[in-house]
Structure 1
Amino acid sequence: MSSKDGQAGGGAEGAPPEQLAFIRESVRKAKAPKAKPRTWRGAALAKELPVARVLVDKGVLHLDRYFDYAVPEELDADAQPGVRVRVRFGAGRHRVREGRREGGGLIDGFLVERVAESDYSGPLAALAQVVSPERVLSEELLGLARAVADRYAGGLADVLQLAVPPRSARAEQRPSPEPLPVPGAPEAGSWGRYERGAAFLESLASGGAPRAVWNALPGPEWSEELARAVAATLASGRGALVVLPDGRAVARVDAALTSLMGEGRHAVLTADAGPEKRYREWLAVRRGSVRAVVGTRAAMFAPVQDLGLVALWDDGDDSHSELHAPQPHAREVLLLRAAQDKCGFLLGSWSCTVEAAQLVESGWARPLVAGREQVRGAAPLVRTVGDGDLARDEAARAARLPTLAWQAVREGLRHGPVLVQVPRRGYVPRMACANCRAPARCRHCSGPLEAQGSGADLRCGWCGRDEGAWHCPECGGFRLRAQVVGARRTAEELGRAFPAVPVRTSGREHVLDTVPGTPSLVVSTPGAEPVAEGGYAAALLLDGWAMLGRPDLRAGEDALRRWIAAASLVRPQRVGGTVVVVAEPTLRPVQALVRWDPVGHAVRELAERAELGFPPVSRMASVAGPGEAVAEFLRAVELPPEAEVLGPVPVPVTAAGRPRRVGAPPPGEHWERALIRVPPGRGAALAAALKAAQAARMARGGGSGAGGGGGEAVVRVRMDPPDIG
């Protein structure tokens, strides 16, 4: 310090406190840099709210947060919350929180909000581009996506990829139609068959938010009843959303809505429509031009304005479970929407899942059912063929069609088409010795032997080798029988037995929508049954043991759901409709089918699961991957104190050449899976713990089930896995 400085300092020390404070403030201002206009690389920034908070579309958990960017003045007008933007986001160049330096390539994102200042103290990179001024991400949709991500231990960007369809510039340029006037309330129609059906419609039409689990009566009226529920909601000035399992169901409800209210009042959102048309329909909903939506799984996020009703048909169908991360189920998403928007909720099916029974038992929803007289008047006659009957009918046992089934087919063909449900696709999925029933296996790899066609040699389902000289190693027999015969083989057998009757097949390769009401045989796999004009005269439900014998918690529930779905297409008993199910009659699902009591079956299943601590009473998650990776993940995750870890156990290996299930290990890899269970009310804590552990692992370079890569082995985490064995 110089002497001059010392004198100056001494003078300041003797000054009064107020003057001393003034001197110090003057020195601070003199040393501070002169204020300059806010710029970024010489370009002026927006004068108001110059910071944009952006969700980048990276889809990795450790980057599941917002990043701050500067808003250039030329983008100020278009850079509004909800628009798509492009920003620079290079690997390894991000700051610990929202700050960004320039570098890296351009990446898509959503502008979430505009703020005056950033928490980051360094320079911010600027928005590179506003892709479109169309505000596709509303505050309500963002809140729903965040709730779904939290429930399923996933990332917000992954959920928004499911919620917001890809952009089509041509669709954005086309103006949406003007909204049509509010329609009048519909008549109750066939809703009058249900004990509280008319009251449910009246509540929707008057602006109420009723919540119901609807056990629909058999027959085709369900699509018209859904349409009337939508029309009643529109009559109150609100919007409605209906999610269905497949395009065929969507087409039926679409036709019912058009017939009831005319065209232009609802949008159809399905993947079959093509990206441009689907985005155009989605924009019409987002802009408020259309207040009702009917669609498949992806429509569960449709941005319906002033939502008054969310409805889901057949929640037990596998199609409602999303295949992409974080793999949400449409039922749970609609439950979140009903709570968020305080709107009505309708869960309908011919059958009843355990989750639906839990909604009623908890009091959250009310049952919407018909009286027993109505049920008996609408349902077909159900007859059973068990092991005892097959044992007394050896020829029919070998042919898999007992005498009672043949009689039902012959009688049914006198009056109309007959449906034959086969639980497996293809020709003959599995073969066994005709003498001792030992499975036929390949001599080289012990894989299952299959018959590819009539008279064709056997072929191994694992290694693909042909087997032309098989004999049973257990008893020495040379004759084979089908363990489960597929649709093609069944069609061949029935065609030979009834040569003058047309035989149609419906399955994965070719699904029929409708068949004429004239006599014919329709062989179908579960879920692919076409609707017959006037209903089927009879139905055969074959190989029930194959559906009931699956090592899965939902085997009985799923078998009953598929049986009832097929039987609901058959004419009522009063006009001769008959269903024959080949399954042990003493089993609970078979008895529920005979009595036509899916609700009672679901209630008993729920009670058993509550006693054993199984979902949906508890929340459960699965952790799958190579054994060492799973063990390391379980050591690192900070689970809630109440959590119980089950396993790990080996995951079945996918055979070479076979389609791989979602979540199954790649061919040749050996994985393990652990289940983590928590009691009711702790699901959110479990999801948060798993998400934090997976995010930390990915930040270190570990792989994930959502496409993350790195040096570590892949570990897949899934909340509420549909199959827990």
Structure 2
Amino acid sequence: MSYVQNLRGVVTASTAKRPGERREAPELPVAQIAVDTPLTHLDRPFDYLVPETLAQDAQPGVRVRVRFSGRLVDGVLLARLARSEHEGRLGWLERVVSPEPVLSAELVELCRTVADRYAGTFADVVRLAVPPRHAKTEAEAVPEAVVPAPVEPPGRDGWNRYRHGAALLDAVTEGRRAHAVWQAVPGEDWPSRLAEAAASAVAGGRGALVVVPDQRDLTRVAEACIASVGEELVAQLSADMGPAKRYRSWLAIRRGAVKVVVGTRAAAFAPLSDPGLLAIWDDGDDLHAEPRAPYPHARDVLMYRAHATGAALLVAGFARTSEAQLLVQSGWAREVVAERTELRASAPRITPVAETEAQLVDDPNARAARLPRVAFDVARAALGRGEPVLVQVPRSGYVPGLACAQCREPARCRRCAGPLGLPRAGADGLELAGAPSCRWCGVTDTAFRCAACGSRRPRATVVGAVRTAEELGRAFPGFPVRGSGGGSNVRTSVPNSAALVVATPGAEPWVKDVPGGAGYGAVLLLDGWALLSRSDLRVGEETLRRWMAAAALARPHQAGGRVMVAADPELAVVQALVRWDPAGHAETELAARTELGFPPSVRMAAIDGVPTAVADVLASARFPDSAEILGPVELEPGSAGEQRERALVRVPRGDARALAAALTAAQAARSARKAPEPVRVKVDPHEI
């Protein structure tokens, strides 16, 4: 007989193992496991005993299965311990799903930080960070970590155009902390600049991670990185790759077989060891905001990661968000911008329609017309030179909405009060199918009558990209019209030849065989009122970002490049576009938000749900004394028709942690008592 110290006390055990009996691992017999459960009050590690048979495979970071509340659930092993502080009886680790570690210590800390920052759970963040296991792919021979051939530091010519640009690359190469906000000039070959920054990190012996909004940008940046450091050192990571290919790429990153990772928002959690550069392009794009709980933003994830690892952080884009401006004003980041002389040499000539009295005299309806005569002249001149013309339209489709032609009241269905629209017909979808029909219930309204004034004449509120393409085809006969946008119909590029390209924001194709893709002879930005009339905190910032993305594809003004924006020339956002001054607009926007108490000058959380659930959270949460509650206000009914409300809670930035902790505790209390009404909590929601 011998005495064995186990976690349930000192007991007498036989040295012989009975059939079916499990014996603890001789060393570090306790495993701390994060159980995959959505319940907030259970968001903590649990201790389990490690059987001797699993001692070798049960290493930190691996996927496991344990019995929790009487059923087998998934989990991740966080650490092995010699003893547990739990005084009760411990359960056994049932199975190691795979000996492949999926979470390093750095990623465990990052996931915990993101969960705490966004009032979420660790399990929710892990689901965002680690792709689902693909057993067949995991069994394949994935290249192990290799020592890459030395990479020479890239040239500095492209970055010498910007103040502090070369210094940024030097800091990345030398492995120093560097935080920068980069504003690219119009026509910039920005994928090559990001590739040069990534190559600088590789030349310094570290890795690089670049996060972009969508697959089109991913392809461009990946190709530029391959040209800089070689295909064997570059991996792509996005949901569009498919489960097997994505998991194969993720494994190659985790095993150290690559040094440069290019991906979409989930790539912010990529298991890249020793990152030297973390970069994000166009951080204002909605695609960077995760739509699943706890709704983190890729920019913030990279910021936390840069702080924890000492990597350089680069926030880049043609425009600048208020969040990026706050980084500059606080001194945490330095701006990398071009001098005005360099900017003037690269930018096209940007003008609003009817900017002068002479134009109004020549065309009195210039400001009311959707495409005034001066814009037609600009497009006709570019087409005559054999250059493509880009036309940006805010909405896809044919006629997205209808309103009363007399009083402009939105046209509503008489059955369900849903919005009315005109259906399309024909093989090309360009013909009207007949009477207006409801977008919600599908009922056709053969006898439209405005509920406000009684008029029977509807009119289009916004003309979509399809209708615009049809109209331009008639106005410019003999020239091809190409569309881009609206679901899967998104073009990556267009030939450098005379054509009209109609695109929705974010779907603008670049011109082939032109540096940076800036080969359009003219860019027409239509229906500016549709972008600026949205009820959104970021309406001005978002409109400028979309306009700049399109205008950056125009040729320089020396080469005849023109940009025309159909909006009031006195608006601040129009003036910022004309001057190409994203930094000045972001500074003004941030000052206005600070005065009004809006993010990012404060921390704000949105609580959505049925009225009883929202009231429950507000009553039980112990917010800091500085908290201010706004609302609740009614929202659109849910999918089941239930009434929904939203309450906003804002605090100074210094109380951000206290706000998240209060919301987490309130949700934990609700989950502990099994509250039936669901509630959604979003910290710093991107869409308010």
2:374 is matched with which residue?
Answer: 404
Residues 570-616 of structure 1: per-residue CA shift (max 9 Å, x gap): 11111111111111111110110011101100001111111111110
> AA paired with 1:74?
T
Q: Tell me if 1:78 matches 2:57.
A: yes
Q: Tell me if 1:604 matches 2:582.
A: no
- Structure 1 residues 398 and 212, CA gap change in structure 2 (3 angstroms): closer
Q: Secondary structure at the match of 1:189?
A: coil
Residues 415-436 of structure 1: per-residue CA shift (max 9 Å, x gap): 3111111111211111234444
The answer to whether the 8 A contact 2:176-2:310 is kept is no
1:423 is matched with which residue?
Answer: 394
For 1:390 and 1:627, the matched residues in 2 are separated by 53
Q: Tell me if 1:63 matches 2:39.
A: no
1:558 is matched with which residue?
Answer: 542
2:328 is matched with which residue?
Answer: 360
**Which of the numbers 152, 156, 167 marks the counterpart of 2:118?**
152
Q: Tell me if 1:633 matches 2:612.
A: no
Deviation at 1:286, TM superposition (A): 1.3
2:143 is matched with which residue?
Answer: 176
Question: Where do residues 219-230 of structure 1 align in structure 2 (5 Å cutoff)?
Answer: 219-230=187-198
2:252 is matched with which residue?
Answer: 284
The answer to whether the 8 A contact 1:50-1:117 is kept is yes
Deviation at 1:624, TM superposition (A): 0.9
The answer to whether the 8 A contact 1:80-1:111 is kept is yes
1:138 is matched with which residue?
Answer: 104
For 1:193 and 1:522, the matched residues in 2 are separated by 30
Residues 449-470 of structure 1: per-residue CA shift (max 9 Å, x gap): 2112333221122332212333
- Structure 1 residues 417 and 717, CA gap change in structure 2 (3 angstroms): same
1:652 is matched with which residue?
Answer: 636
For 1:717 and 1:282, the matched residues in 2 are separated by 30
For 1:112 and 1:154, the matched residues in 2 are separated by 18
For 1:554 and 1:483, the matched residues in 2 are separated by 22
State the TM-score, normalized to the length of structure 1: 0.88
**Which of the numbers 297, 301, 318 marks the counterpart of 1:329?**
297
Q: Secondary structure at the match of 1:560?
A: helix
Q: Tell me if 1:123 matches 2:89.
A: yes
Range 141-150 or range 468-477, more displaced? 468-477
Deviation at 1:475, TM superposition (A): 5.9
Q: Secondary structure at the match of 2:258?
A: coil
1:717 is matched with which residue?
Answer: 681
Gaps of at least 5 residues in structure 2 are 1-9, 425-430
For 2:612 and 2:135, the matched residues in 1 are separated by 48
Residues 660-693 of structure 1: per-residue CA shift (max 9 Å, x gap): xxxxx32512211000000121111100010010
Range 439-448 or range 392-401, more displaced? 392-401
Q: Tell me if 1:538 matches 2:514.
A: no
Q: Secondary structure at the match of 1:264?
A: helix
For 1:140 and 1:188, the matched residues in 2 are separated by 32
**Which of the numbers 210, 213, 232 marks the counterpart of 1:245?**
213
1:455 is matched with which residue?
Answer: 432
The answer to whether the 8 A contact 1:38-1:44 is kept is no
Deviation at 1:34, TM superposition (A): 3.8
Instruction: Tell which structure's C-alpha radius of gyration is larger.
Output: 1
Q: Secondary structure at the match of 2:474?
A: helix
> AA paired with 1:455?
L
Q: Tell me if 1:690 matches 2:663.
A: yes
Q: Secondary structure at the match of 1:483?
A: strand
Question: Where do residues 12-51 of structure 1 align in structure 2 (5 Å cutoff)?
Answer: 34=12, 36=14, 42-51=21-30
The answer to whether the 8 A contact 1:391-1:397 is kept is no
The answer to whether the 8 A contact 1:38-1:45 is kept is no
For 2:403 and 2:163, the matched residues in 1 are separated by 50
**Which of the numbers 639, 642, 645 marks the counterpart of 1:666?**
639
Residues 57-105 of structure 1: per-residue CA shift (max 9 Å, x gap): 1122111011111111111111111111111123xxxxxxxxxxxxx22
**Which of the numbers 31, 53, 57 marks the counterpart of 2:32?**
53
1:195 is matched with which residue?
Answer: 163
1:707 is matched with which residue?
Answer: none
The answer to whether the 8 A contact 1:39-1:45 is kept is no
The answer to whether the 8 A contact 2:48-2:91 is kept is yes
For 1:357 and 1:495, the matched residues in 2 are separated by 42
Question: Where do residues 383-398 of structure 1 align in structure 2 (5 Å cutoff)?
Answer: 383-385=351-353
- Structure 1 residues 478 and 181, CA gap change in structure 2 (3 angstroms): same
Deviation at 1:120, TM superposition (A): 2.4
For 1:421 and 1:45, the matched residues in 2 are separated by 66
For 1:467 and 1:43, the matched residues in 2 are separated by 72
Residues 520-574 of structure 1: per-residue CA shift (max 9 Å, x gap): 1111110011111231111111110111111111000000000000101111111
For 1:606 and 1:672, the matched residues in 2 are separated by 28
Q: Tell me if 1:617 matches 2:601.
A: yes
**Length, aligned pairs only:** 660
Q: How many percent identity over aligned positions?
A: 54
Deviation at 1:478, TM superposition (A): 4.7
For 1:120 and 1:543, the matched residues in 2 are separated by 64
- Structure 1 residues 445 and 129, CA gap change in structure 2 (3 angstroms): closer
Deviation at 1:444, TM superposition (A): 3.4
Residues 684-721 of structure 1: per-residue CA shift (max 9 Å, x gap): 1100010010011011112xxxxxxxxx2111111011
The answer to whether the 8 A contact 1:179-1:288 is kept is no
State the TM-score, normalized to the length of structure 2: 0.92
- Structure 1 residues 84 and 33, CA gap change in structure 2 (3 angstroms): closer
Gaps of at least 5 residues in structure 1 are 1-31, 91-103, 654-664, 703-711
1:443 is matched with which residue?
Answer: 414
2:466 is matched with which residue?
Answer: 488
- Structure 1 residues 234 and 381, CA gap change in structure 2 (3 angstroms): same
Deviation at 1:405, TM superposition (A): 1.6
Range 397-406 or range 51-60, more displaced? 397-406
> AA paired with 2:500?
L
2:428 is matched with which residue?
Answer: none
Residues 5-64 of structure 1: per-residue CA shift (max 9 Å, x gap): xxxxxxxxxxxxxxxxxxxxxxxxxxx964556989622221111111111111221110
Residues 278-320 of structure 1: per-residue CA shift (max 9 Å, x gap): 2122122212221211110110001111111100000000000
Q: Secondary structure at the match of 1:335?
A: helix
Q: Tell me if 1:211 matches 2:189.
A: no
For 1:106 and 1:201, the matched residues in 2 are separated by 50
Question: Where do residues 550-589 of structure 1 align in structure 2 (5 Å cutoff)?
Answer: 550-589=534-573
> AA paired with 2:120?
G
For 1:106 and 1:605, the matched residues in 2 are separated by 51
For 1:49 and 1:556, the matched residues in 2 are separated by 57
Q: Secondary structure at the match of 2:108?
A: helix
